[in-house]
Amino acid sequence: MPTVLVTGCAGFIGSHLCQRLLADGFRVLGLDNFDPFYDRALKELNLQPLLAHPDFTFRELDLRHGAAALDAAWPAPADTPDVVVHLAAKAGVGPSVREPLAYLDNNVLATAHLLEWMRTRSISRLLFASSSSVYGNTRRLPFNEDEQLQQACISPYATSKLAGEELTYTYHHLYRLSVLNARFFTVYGPRQRPDLAIHKFVRLLRAGQPIPVYGNGSTARDYTFVADTVDGVVRGVRYLLSHEGVYETVNLGNNRPVPLLELIQAVATAVGVEARLDYQPMQAGDVDITYADISKAQQLLGYAPQTPLAEGLRQFVEWLRATEPSAALSQ
């Protein structure tokens, strides 16, 4: 039974990933530092079904405390994972514009500590969660992994993710670390962070409040349902387990950008109300469009997203209604 260490296991994507890995027969080590970006209670709810599983072990841990903290949490050799999936990061483009140093600290320094721990423990396989934000406002559509990204990043968050990719390459080159960098594209679905657009839109619509539209509504995002992203990550884990000495970067998107006004209409339909719009200036750091070329992920991993937007939104709204008391924590 292979063992996978998942950093950021209590978060939106991390908790879904751990559930899928456990269902597929993996042993899972999970860590999270419960960053106060949003309410800890929501992450604890995400953890509840995992903690009951006999093949899941959790540690509360901040990666910025370095290799010694990781060794104390999982002493060698019994708790040495076969693969590390590094999801933990300080999230959000807008907040990174206001607090750039916090993002470099949590996303770059913490990643360096994790990589150094992996080196000293001879852990040779890493899946690093990167972001579509590294493409910035590139004019080449759809976004292709071969794009040259010098001077592409327009937010500290994007810069921190691209720096993480550079670090993984350094450790691959020097220490033979096998790496798959997975660039996520606007993941949504049940347990989505309360600061993200779809979550905010549903709450506003249900409260009868207008939805803010930044710019003229033509910005577009490649919305990807969480189960599809997680499927890509699990395929990436299996790829790493069966390949030695690799270094690859793939887009895990949906290959269909949805304009903002179209998204708002789809969310309103899922909620069953009419949307009122409040036009506002564009926000600093926001890109115009994200659009994933997923042909490499299809070829390398067999990745094939399955969930239409309407179905994904239906599942999200259903989850939010079922967790009404908990969801209120995020408002």
Segment (H or E) for 231: helix 226-242
Contact 286, 217 (CB under 8 A): no
Annotation says 157 is catalytic: yes
Q: DSSP letter string over 278-289?
A: EEEPPPTT--SB
Count Cβ atoms below 10 Å from residue 109 Cβ, excluding itself. Answer: 15
Torsion of CA 262, 265, 270, 273, to 10 degrees: 170
- Find, among 107, 108, 152, 112, the residue nearest to 132 by Cα: 152
Catalytic residue among 38, 103, 135, 157: 157
CA distance 297 to 154: 25
Distance CA 161, CA 87 (A): 11
Task: Residue 29: name the closest of 75, 97, 94, 89 by CA.
Answer: 75
Catalytic residues: 157
